[in-house]
Structure 1
Amino acid sequence: MPGRPNLGRLTAEDLTALRAEPRATAVLNFWFGEKWETEGLPNPTERLGVWYGKSDALDSSIRQSFGGDLDRLLEGRLDGWRSSLLPAVAGIILGDQFTRNARRGTASMYDADAKTLEWTHALIADGSIARLPYALRHFAAMPLMHSESLADQELILELLKRWHGELSSQGGDDEVVEFVQTAIPYAEGHVDVVRRWGRFPHRNAILGRPSTQEEEAGLRDGSIAAW
């Protein structure tokens, strides 16, 4: 791909498969900017407002533009995206990221987690996740960080540390290296919470799960992190 070095190894066939799925293309263009294919991926700081911003305007935009796609994903009508690398990444972002925006504050924001986690594990198992430019790889792996499985939490931490080492030693953009480095403490925090509590206690209320007295105390005093 032209543009800034990103250590990705996408092929022309990968991009052709993406263009055959217009809605998958729309997901990636929204998340990474419409020129990411031709001009290279932006540095992470240029997209932080989209990736991590919390605003009614952003949530509404995602809900209006991609609400129908979310329904189709959950109904299994986008399962064909799994057979190609970039559409699979688009499906993961749709179910893992867009769902949290479009359905923020409701239990249904987690409805696609099992599906996206399965897709992520498939990309890791066949090695194709390593062919992605880093920003795409990062979000393809994020269902692991949202999982309440300790094995998944330990895996994402391992991957982030490995990728940080690779990017540092192979000439990745400084801002990309810093972005990965910043993600590692967040991953460590997730590991700590799941190891201690076996779940994310801050989800209990929205999911209708009873909290233990210890969890309630930790959530009140902030000793249990919430994301």
Structure 2
Amino acid sequence: MNHSDVIKYWFSKKSREHWFFSTPEIDNEIKQRYEQLWTRAASGELKGWQDSPQGCLALIIVLDQFPLNMFRGKAKSFQTEEMAVKVALKAIKKGYDEILNTDELLFLFMPLMHSENLEHQNMQVKLFEKYDFNDE
């Protein structure tokens, strides 16, 4: 499985319908499909994905979004949150935010929103203002 597979799945019509309103069935589907990939990402095996905008985005989805589905209601769902923040910060530093589309940017910035670090949250607010997310 490569980063294109993650992007294709996450931005599919079916997945979009459940971005913010998941079901136990979707949570289970993500767990079955992506738990091994998440384990690899958590161990640092997928660092090479950070070499492209789409790769960074896919890695963020694996580290930040998928655990919320796979481990819903458990502390483990936040285990790779800080890793996702680091990937997001690196992507922004590389200018990847200038390349991605609006839907992709939402998930690029999501780890900053999820972070308990106030600086990260403030950065996310500024990025949402820069890309005019607050009116959507």
Q: Which residue does the alignment assign to 1:148?
A: 116
Aligned length: 136
Q: Which residue does the alignment assign to 2:131?
A: 163
Cα drift, residue 47 of structure 1: 5.6
User: Given the alignment of the two structures, is residue 181 of structure 1 paired with residue 134 of structure 2, yes or no?
Assistant: yes
- Spell out, residue by residue over 1:119-167, the C-alpha distance to the aligned partner (whole angstroms, 9 max, x if none): 1001111212111111111101100000001111111111111101xxx
Name the TM-score, length of structure 1 as normaliser: 0.57
User: Given the alignment of the two structures, is residue 106 of structure 1 paired with residue 74 of structure 2, yes or no?
Assistant: yes
Q: Are the equivalent residues in 1 in contact too, given 2:3–2:55 (CA < 8 A)? A: yes
User: Given the alignment of the two structures, is residue 23 of structure 1 paired with residue 2 of structure 2, yes or no?
Assistant: yes
Cα drift, residue 79 of structure 1: 1.1
User: Given the alignment of the two structures, is residue 125 of structure 1 paired with residue 125 of structure 2, yes or no?
Assistant: no
Q: Which residue does the alignment assign to 2:84?
A: 116
Distance between the aligned counterparts of 2:115 and 2:76, measured in 1? 15
Cα drift, residue 48 of structure 1: 4.5
Structure 1 gaps, min length 5 = 1-21, 34-41, 165-179, 184-227
- Spell out, residue by residue over 1:171-214, the C-alpha distance to the aligned partner (whole angstroms, 9 max, x if none): xxxxxxxxx3366xxxxxxxxxxxxxxxxxxxxxxxxxxxxxxx
State the Cα RMSD in Å: 1.7
Identity %: 27
Q: Which residue does the alignment assign to 2:11?
A: 32
User: Given the alignment of the two structures, is residue 138 of structure 1 paired with residue 117 of structure 2, yes or no?
Assistant: no
Q: Are the equivalent residues in 1 in contact too, given 2:9–2:15 (CA < 8 A)? A: no
Distance between the aligned counterparts of 1:127 and 1:87, measured in 2? 14
User: Given the alignment of the two structures, is residue 79 of structure 1 paired with residue 47 of structure 2, yes or no?
Assistant: yes
Q: Which residue does the alignment assign to 1:4?
A: none
User: Given the alignment of the two structures, is residue 63 of structure 1 paired with residue 35 of structure 2, yes or no?
Assistant: no
Distance between the aligned counterparts of 1:78 and 1:144, measured in 2? 20
